[in-house]
Structure 1
């Protein structure tokens, strides 16, 4: 395999979980090197990179993901996995990760890990078979251990996605049929499934569903509801729109999806394709052409562990009535 060092077309998409608190006496020190770094091809043109959260005296503001020694992009400090996409097929890459704290101090790079993208397969439209029955057990209050039987594919299974409630929260290589999922919440019920992926990004049907509940922890649970929720209306092109704004919940991970409830029922979903706002977020949606109609509205976030968080406060708006 050849080594490709050009970075002109590589981009990174950030997803999901977990930042550890600082240890006493670490104030003033740069972050340590991330540990547990893994890299596995997700398709012929993408690699999935994961690492453990770093302890630091000052909160970790970002992680720098480096490809063949050059930084690709900053990832929020609350994230610990990314998909590096738009890579070349049949190419070996070396990935490293380093942390930057809130004071701008850069920690050392992690150990390098290699990943090789498979050759592109023209015209491969055959999806892998469904992975075998999913089994598992709870490990402590914030992790579960999962295992399944291998799927089959005419060109070979490249990776497995672990989903919770339909949202991908973890990925492992195609030769792996067991994993430990961390960063879960104590006292929470989960529904896990697994699906297989081949080099052409064909996806198998999902496995059987495994339901597990983590035991309650001893510490206080963070509030998972959006805060500072506001709602109003505006008129545009003869139709009324409901305007929302809120502060995302402070959770261990990146929130990219919200469900909006109108008059007690789900009305629409909001998904950020890129980096979500780091501060106050906002969104508007269609509410009809009739003035003087009252609506009750609230929203909730899909958390990095795949579960839905608590609902925000409920607000009542009247079309044509402003805030």
Structure 2
């Protein structure tokens, strides 16, 4: 595949505890299992795209700590172009603390660390790879001014932008119409559309509002209800695949990475949604963010079994 997928975003060290139930306020849950893996929405999406068959470059900032060498080695092991993963001095990499209950639900808190050093100036240093992008993928664990700068650069060069607006937080909404593909869950869709989203009908109303603002494609993931894509002239929905979930932490990231690959390969929208949904379904059957991202072979085999 010739079209390069450039993922711009966060790199984190994930510290995970798996327990039989999530604690109530003030409660201590003992006998948890501990795991240390690598995450960050940007890194998760880059790894997911690479394993799904994409030609991926990653633009990020990592810190000066003991985890960094292994983090970079992992990216390279997945054949990710890391020339513009910047090594910052005097600051730790981003860290996430994650608690996971028996149904795969989770509590999550993030310390951004070096992720907030991914400034517009760093993006300018990465222009040699950005200008070769077939699609640019971003999330919201990096500074707002950086995201806006990337959108401006991409629009000027006619490079499509896929934005996963996660986590949902304040943003300059005048930039929303400049995004080609918005990937959202129910909470993020409601936040951007300025309304409550409690079901699929609400989600579609929110997507319509965003399309009316100028977004070309809105994709909303609905967990067990599947996912749908809305454009000016069509709605395409795919059901969720039924699997036994053990950790839902990076399902959305895996979906985004896989969808970027499908888009770059020119799959028709229904096939692209199905491909991304299959990758996400496989990811929740394994523990950890990046360790759970499936390979292209695994995705293709899973889809053949589901035909």
TM-score by length of 1: 0.26
Which structure is higher in strand share? Answer: 1
- For the pair shown, the structure with the greater C-alpha radius of gyration is 1
More helix by share: 2
